[in-house]
Every structure is written in structure tokens, then in C-alpha cells.
A = this chain, B = another copy of it.
Amino acid sequence: MKVTIWNEGRHEQINEIVANLYPRGIHGAIAEGLSEHGIDARTATLEEPEHGLTQAILDDTDVLIWWGHMAHNEVQDEIVNRVQQRVLTGMGLIVLHSGHFSKIFKRLMGTTCDLLWRVANEKERLWVVNPGHPIAQGLPRYFELEKEEMYGEYFDIPEPDELIFLSWFQGGEVFRSGCTFRRGLGKIFYFRPGHETFPTYYQPAIRQVIANSVRWAAPESGLVPFTPQNGQFPAREATPGKDV
């Protein structure tokens, strides 16, 4: 399984708190967490040529993880098109936290992806609402983050295919924190936690969820992808049906 972790990587450069918390970048902490679960991953960041997401890299990626926040608009539309196309032909996509406002997530959802928000240092409790789902495996009934930013409803997304986690916030809000969507052949998982000023990506439960979601989103090994190249992807063509 080939995993690429994409991180904007901007907060780490300009905010001392974030730099101290994530000395190898948010992507580095996520990669470390996957490694604990036996999953290798490469990383890519905004500042690399083509944001590190060349066609060759994407073609060699089974699951892409996305973290972005302050520089969504700097992501080139051409790269967004390329990632979208790759999702539709089978690459899994894990969108984290403020990635809800990324171009690629809004593109795939068709909605504003807006939500309620508050600067906060408060307790978040995530409840499992689909305990048989692969993404919830190995987790307790609920788990907590002592300090997180608050995201609340209404979260302007299409009705998720599956709802895995709901968050409770000390301040009075709730949020659909773990949602799956299918677009084309690709599986998408949105997972809420991960504000850059908190050590969220070092938490064992968070690392478990991300590892679970990567395994869930990977395309089937034996899958023959429907692509225009192999004549199996939807294309405007004649079928042999007429001789029935």
C-alpha cells in the first residue's frame, strides 16, 4: 500500500508554537503514527514543485492524506484537477481538520463545506456511532482530546454515505467528525480533529483512526480499474447489447 501525506506546511514555519509541537511538520507526525501501525508513507508539501503531487507520484499513490489551512488558495487548480481525477479512478483520500475548506474537498463535495467554528482550548469527546466499521476498529466507545479547537454544526456537506464519529464539545456544540463518501471509484474519509496548536496527531486513538482509514480507503488489490485506457471506464461508446 502506497501512502502520500500532503501538508501545507506553512504554520510550522511562521508560528513558534506549531514549530515546537511539530518539529518534523504535521506530515512528519502523521507519518510517524502510520509507521507505528506498519504503514510506510512518503510526504509532500505545498512548496515543492507541483506541490509534490506530480502525475507520477499520484499514479503511485493508493491513499492520499490532506492537511491544509491558511494557504488553500495557493494550491494550483491544475493540481486540484489532477487529484480529483485520481480519486475518481480509485485513489483513497483522507481529509483532515481544516482541510474541509481545501479546494479538493469542496470540489468533490459540491457544497461550501462551511461549518461553525470557535477558537477554543476545550475538551472534545468523540463517540463511535458505527462500531462495526473498519475505521472504528480497536477503539473504545468514546475517546477524548483534552484541548482542541471547536467545529460545530451545521456542517455544509452532502449526506455522508456513512457516519462513524460524532464529536461533543464542552462549549455546547456537536459535529459529524468522521464521515465517509464515495466519488467515482475513490473512497473519501473526512476526520475532524487536528488543530495545529495542539498535539492531536501524537494521540494513540487519533493515530489508530488514521491508520484504519488508510487501510479502508486503499483500492482493492485485485481491482481492475475502470479507465478510458482499458475500455472499462464509462465512456460514450456502443455496447454489444443490441444483439440480445
Residues of A at under 8 Å CB distance from B? 84, 88, 90, 107-112, 114-118, 120, 123, 125, 127-132, 134, 137-141, 150, 152-156, 158-159, 161-163, 166-174, 176, 181-187, 219-220, 222-224, 226, 232-242, 244
Q: How far is the CB of A107 from chain B (nearest CB, A)?
A: 6
Take A154-B127, A154-B226, A172-B242 as given contacts and tell me if A117 and B236 are in contact as well, using a CB distance cutoff of 8 Å.
yes
Integer count of this chain's copies in the complex: 4
Q: Which of chain B's residues have a CB closer than 8 A to the CB of A167? A: 174
Q: How far is the CB of A236 from chain B (nearest CB, A)?
A: 4
Contact of B239 with A137 in the complex, beta carbons under 8 Å: no
Contact of A184 with B156 in the complex, beta carbons under 8 Å: yes
Q: How far is the CB of A229 from chain B (nearest CB, A)?
A: 14
Q: Which of chain B's residues have a CB closer than 8 A to the CB of A88? A: 111-112, 156
How distant is the Cα of A128 from the Cα of B226 in the complex, in angstroms?
Answer: 11
Q: Using CB atoms, name the residue of chain B closest to A106.
A: B110
Take A110-B107, A112-B88 as given contacts and tell me if A132 and B242 are in contact as well, using a CB distance cutoff of 8 Å.
no
Contact of A235 with B118 in the complex, beta carbons under 8 Å: no
Contact of B182 with A159 in the complex, beta carbons under 8 Å: yes
Q: Which of chain B's residues have a CB closer than 8 A to the CB of A152? A: 127, 239, 241
Q: Which of chain B's residues have a CB closer than 8 A to the CB of A111? A: 88, 183-184
How distant is the Cα of A90 from the Cα of B173 in the complex, in angstroms?
Answer: 24
Which of A168, A223, A233, A235: most chain B Cβ within 10 A? Answer: A168
